[in-house]
């Protein structure tokens, strides 16, 4: 069963996540792979030349480390070791907002349905749902809200900059 | 007050639907207890000793009479007919059924209320001055800003899983009445040299296990930058706050470990990237929000009410109550009336459904249909005609809300403690009552003057014991309930943390200890010197000596 959500659908995953890689010989020659940040930094030139290598960041990794590489990376993954560890949300936003990363931003690790809306707002566009969960059911999490108030990576204009232009800005009819 | 439009209402309704779905998935076994816990906490639902506890947000402590009636209805239909006002200006229900919570939230949504982020490791309910809009010392009305912060923080996608909880206070007056210096962020309105409005930003205060006073990291933040700056603070905290130890996870720890200067530099660097960007608040948004907090239709008076003055001259009980429980209003002829929820024998902050309805009626009759909640767990009718104050006093006496003790020793701030809370080490409510009984002599109490006594049943400090002039902390010693006493804490502009006077006491001894502390004050005080001022002048040693000399 595929576990990857992308473009609002459960799709086959062409990428392999390498949690660890010691040397270049650990890489398969004909597979697209996502490698640890340290490995990328150690072998950057060789890996860049392949074109089918992405990088994953741990919560302690500084996204600025990839500032010069964002144009060369088709995929950056951010690891959430536990869904209650929220560092990856900020990492995602910094990759998108500060470093201009436009490739696939993938959430991996303890990724569950109830995180998907927030992850998408923070710039993630691919979600590798935890293996024991139903990815098709998780899709609904993307639509928990239409949108929220704050400025986000997906929608930099906060709601207060659009409120006046939107229809439906009138009183809700509830009482208080 | 703020009124939802379709966008606000839709968002809250979606949150209700989301939580209903989460609850159903949990009940069907599709979410484990560990998976459900953070989700229910971010909706204010704890699992307590006897039952779940649901904490409902009262943004910056402002309630309409309609909302209060709904809280009464919910407490009657889904709880045991009462609620508990908290030190974050919220209300808690101690007996709802987990299965019923989605229905409770749906009812709340009909009156523009919710329980979003009243618990969990996220941005909590924003608090503000309970006297906003009527205080005589106001620089700006903080409510439009607090509402702005509420909206920004509601379901903020980046900060749903912070290292630990995060509390923000906004104050617009020269005297801080929000305990801003013991918040993760305190924002205090200030005027720049050219009259421009801005905020002094304080970071890293907090109570709990490791209490700290906040540090000012920016003396003047242009007001329009408030959300960009908060985003920067939260982002630095989210990335660098400690996650290895929940007792060291609050922002105060990382501010201290980094040093405030280094923390401030990181925030400023992040802010530089955000400054002037889309998160900058346009003036028209502030105008829009301020439009919800305009003055009610006050009448003009040339002088103070003659009848009110006469009633004060006439009756000592009334004048005493007015002295403690009535504040000066910014408009001549009006008064700010605080309802004491600290009648002896009633758990501090507790109100029954019938009382809620009666207060809602009083608000409609006397105060333009609004009620405020203070972080000292009292209620306020903020816009009462001076001409009506004496009549209102009579009504409050009948309801049990006219105890003339605001700011006095028996106005005890107190968490629910071991009677309800599964985190507590010790009970707090019976101790509060025992102290109130010991200080029932109103003349004596009144003579003692301002004295804040705060009590928490555990070191999470929901009862704000660190900033009580006298603080009481429930501790566990080999399975027994003991009480540690501190003196010298204070909230406000010159906030300070209390110092523990020594080994803890058994419950039965606590009232005697308080009496001895008060005796030391009475014997040492200079004329017009408040308890806290005497403590600051003479130090804690005389207090300590008296208490422990008597004990041995």
Which tokens sit at A22? 């010691």
**Out of B6, B235, B273, closest to residue A90 by CB:** B235
Detail the DSSP E strand segments found in B433-549.
453-456, 470-477, 480-487, 499-500, 505-506
3.40.50.10860, 3.30.413.10, 1.25.40.80, 3.40.50.620: which CATH number matches B413-551? 3.30.413.10
**Out of A86, A174, A176, closest to residue B162 by CB:** A86
Q: Give the nearest chain B residue to A156 (CA atoms).
A: B278
**Alpha-carbon gap, residue B75 to B218, rounded angstroms:** 43
Does A149 touch chain B if contact means CB atoms closer than 8 Å? yes
Chain B residues near residue A117 by CB distance under 8 angstroms: 157
Tell me phi and psi for residue B126, to 5 degrees. -75, 130
**CATH match of B6-110 with 3.30.70:** yes
**Alpha-carbon gap, residue B49 to A48, rounded angstroms:** 57
Encode B114-173 in three state secondary structure.
CCCCCCCCCECCCEECCCCCCCCCECCCCHHHHHHHHHHHCCCHHHCCCCCCECEEEECE
DSSP one-letter code for B300: P
**Alpha-carbon gap, residue A56 to A65, rounded angstroms:** 12
Write the DSSP string, B51-108.
Answer: SEEEEE--GGGEEEHHHHHHHHHHHHHHSSSEEEE-TTS-EEES---GGGHHHHHHHH
> Cα dihedral sign for B247, B253, B258, B264?
positive
Q: Give the nearest chain A residue to B151 (CA atoms).
A: A149
Q: Which 3 state secondary structure label does DSSP give B296?
A: coil
**Out of B3, B110, B278, closest to residue A161 by CB:** B278
Please report the residues numbered 10 through 49 in chain B whose beta carbons come closer than 8 angstroms to any beta carbon of chain A. 10-11, 14-15, 18, 22, 35, 38-39
Q: Where are the domains of chain A?
A: 4-159
**Alpha-carbon gap, residue A78 to A106, rounded angstroms:** 6
| B196 Cα distance to chain centroid | 29
Give the angle B498-B503-B504 at the CA atoms, nearest 5°: 80
Q: What Cα–Cα distance (Å) separates residue B186 from each residue in B56, B146, B149, B226?
A: 22, 11, 12, 12
Q: CB A158 to CB B239 under 8 A?
A: no
* Count of Cβ atoms closer than 10 Å to residue B368 Cβ: 18
Tell me phi and psi for residue B301, to 5 degrees. -125, 140
- In words, the CATH class of domain B306-399 is alpha beta
Does B154 touch chain A if contact means CB atoms closer than 8 Å? yes
Q: Which helix (H) or strand (E) holds A9?
A: strand A9-11
Does B537 touch chain A if contact means CB atoms closer than 8 Å? no
Give the angle B154-B157-B161 at the CA atoms, nearest 5°: 95
Please report the residues numbered 207 through 266 in chain B whose beta carbons come closer than 8 angstroms to any beta carbon of chain A. 227, 231, 235, 238-239, 243
Please report the residues numbered 125 through 144 in chain A whose beta carbons come closer than 8 angstroms to any beta carbon of chain B. 144
Distance from CA of A45 to the nearest CA of B (A): 29
Does A112 touch chain B if contact means CB atoms closer than 8 Å? yes
C-alpha torsion angle, residues B516, B517, B519, B524 (rounded to 10): 140
Q: B492 CB contacts (<8 Å, ≥6 apart)?
A: B175, B176, B177, B179
Predicted confidence pLDDT, tens digits, chain B (552 residues): 999 999 999 999 999 999 999 999 999 999 999 999 999 999 999 986 667 899 999 999 999 999 999 999 999 999 999 999 998 889 999 889 999 999 999 999 999 999 999 999 999 999 999 999 999 999 999 999 999 999 999 999 999 999 999 999 999 999 999 999 999 999 999 999 899 999 999 999 999 889 999 999 999 999 999 999 999 999 999 999 999 999 999 999 999 999 999 999 999 999 999 999 999 999 999 999 999 999 999 999 999 999 999 999 999 999 999 999 999 999 999 999 999 999 998 998 999 999 999 999 999 999 999 999 999 999 999 999 999 999 999 999 999 999 999 999 999 999 888 888 888 899 999 999 999 999 999 999 999 999 999 999 998 898 999 999 999 999 999 899 999 999 999 999 999 999 999 999 999 999 999 999 999 999 999 999 999 999 999 999 999 999 998 655
H-type helices in B293-376, by residue range? 306-314, 316-325, 353-366
Report the candidate in B145, B140, B127 with the shortest Cα–Cα distance to residue B289: B145
- Which residues are paired to B476 by β-bridges? B481
Which tokens sit at B528? 């017009």
Contact A11, A145 (CB under 8 A): no
Contact B134, B32 (CB under 8 A): no
Matching residue, tokens 């333009």: B368
**Alpha-carbon gap, residue B215 to B181, rounded angstroms:** 8
pTM, two decimals, is: 0.95
Q: Where are the domains of chain B?
A: 6-110, 135-289, 306-399, 413-551
Architecture of the A4-159 domain = 3-Layer(aba) Sandwich (3.40)
Q: Give the nearest chain A residue to B150 (CA atoms).
A: A149
Q: Which 3 state secondary structure label does DSSP give B437?
A: helix
- Helix B510-524 vs helix B429-438: crossing angle, to nearest 10: 50
Distance from CA of A146 to the nearest CA of B (A): 8
Indicate the fold that domain B135-289 takes in CATH. Answer: Sulfite Reductase Hemoprotein; domain 1 (3.30.413)
Contact B61, B374 (CB under 8 A): yes
């Amino acid at each position: 069963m595929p576990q990857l959500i992308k473009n609002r659908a459960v799709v086959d995953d062409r990428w392999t996540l390498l949690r660890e890689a010691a040397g270049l010989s650990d890489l398969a020659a004909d597979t697209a792979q996502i490698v640890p940040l340290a490995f990328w930094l150690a072998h950057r030139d060789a890996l860049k030349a392949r074109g089918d290598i992405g990088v994953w960041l741990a919560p302690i990794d500084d996204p600025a480390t990839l500032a010069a590489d964002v144009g060369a990376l088709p995929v950056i993954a951010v690891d959430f070791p536990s869904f209650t560890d929220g560092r990856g949300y900020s990492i995602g936003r910094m990759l998108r907002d500060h470093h201009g990363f436009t490739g696939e931003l993938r959430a991996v690790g303890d990724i569950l349905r109830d995180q998907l809306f927030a992850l998408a707002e923070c710039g993630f566009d691919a979600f590798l749902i935890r293996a024991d969960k139903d990815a098709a059911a998780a899709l609904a999490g993307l639509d928990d809200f239409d949108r929220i108030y704050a400025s986000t990576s997906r929608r930099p204009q906060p709601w207060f900059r659009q409120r006046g232009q939107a229809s439906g800005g009138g009183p809700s009819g509830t009482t208080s | 007050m703020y009124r939802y439009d379709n966008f606000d209402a839709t968002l809250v309704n979606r949150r209700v639907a989301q939580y209903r779905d989460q609850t159903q998935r949990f009940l069907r076994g599709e979410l484990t207890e560990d998976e459900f816990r953070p989700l229910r906490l971010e909706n204010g639902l704890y699992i307590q000793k006897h039952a779940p506890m649901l904490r409902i947000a009262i943004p910056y402590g402002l309630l309409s009479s309609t909302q209060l009636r709904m809280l009464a209805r919910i407490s009657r239909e889904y709880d045991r007919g009462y609620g508990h006002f908290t030190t974050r200006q919220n209300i808690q229900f101690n007996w709802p059924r987990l299965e019923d919570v989605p229905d409770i939230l749906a009812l709340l949504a009909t009156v523009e209320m919710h329980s979003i982020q009243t618990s969990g490791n996220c941005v909590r309910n924003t608090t503000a001055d309970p006297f906003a809009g009527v205080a005589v010392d106001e620089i700006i009305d903080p409510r439009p800003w607090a509402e702005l912060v509420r909206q920004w923080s509601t379901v903020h996608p980046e900060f749903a899983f912070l290292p630990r909880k995060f509390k923000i206070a906004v104050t617009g007056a020269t005297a801080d009445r929000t305990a801003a210096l013991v918040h993760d962020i305190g924002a205090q309105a200030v005027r720049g040299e050219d009259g421009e409005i801005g905020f002094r930003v304080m970071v890293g205060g907090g109570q709990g296990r490791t209490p700290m006073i906040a540090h000012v990291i920016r003396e003047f933040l242009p007001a329009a930058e408030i959300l960009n700056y908060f985003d920067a603070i939260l982002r630095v905290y989210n990335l660098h706050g400690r996650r290895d130890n929940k007792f060291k996870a609050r922002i105060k720890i990382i501010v201290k470990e980094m040093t405030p200067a280094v923390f401030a530099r990181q925030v400023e660097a992040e802010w530089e990237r955000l400054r002037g960007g889309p998160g900058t608040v346009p003036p028209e948004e502030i105008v829009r929000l301020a439009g919800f907090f305009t003055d009610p239709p006050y009448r003009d008076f040339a002088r103070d009410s003659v009848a009110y003055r006469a009633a004060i001259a006439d009756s000592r009980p009334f004048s005493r109550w007015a002295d403690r429980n009535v504040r000066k209003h910014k408009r001549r002829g009006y008064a700010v009336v605080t309802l004491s929820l600290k009648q002896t024998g009633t758990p501090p902050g507790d109100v029954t459904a019938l009382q809620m309805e009666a207060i809602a009626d009083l608000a409609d009759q006397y105060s333009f249909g609004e009620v405020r909640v203070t972080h000292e767990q009292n209620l306020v009718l903020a816009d009462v005609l001076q001409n009506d104050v004496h009549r209102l006093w009579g009504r409050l006496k009948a309801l049990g809300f006219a105890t003339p003790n605001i700011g006095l020793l028996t106005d005890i701030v107190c968490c629910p403690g071991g009677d309800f809370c599964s985190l507590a080490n010790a009970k707090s409510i019976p101790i509060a009552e025992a102290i109130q009984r010991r200080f029932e002599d109103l003349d004596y109490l009144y003579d003692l003057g301002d004295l804040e006594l705060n009590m928490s049943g555990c070191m999470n400090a929901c009862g704000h014991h660190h900033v009580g002039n006298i603080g009481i902390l429930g501790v566990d010693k080999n399975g027994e309930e003991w009480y540690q006493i501190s003196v010298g804490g204070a909230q406000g502009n010159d906030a300070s943390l209390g110092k523990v006077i020594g080994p803890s006491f058994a419950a039965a001894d606590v009232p005697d200890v308080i009496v001895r502390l008060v005796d030391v004050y009475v014997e040492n005080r200079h004329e017009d010197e408040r308890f806290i001022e005497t403590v600051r002048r003479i130090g804690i040693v005389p207090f300590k000596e008296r208490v422990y000399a008597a004990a041995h």
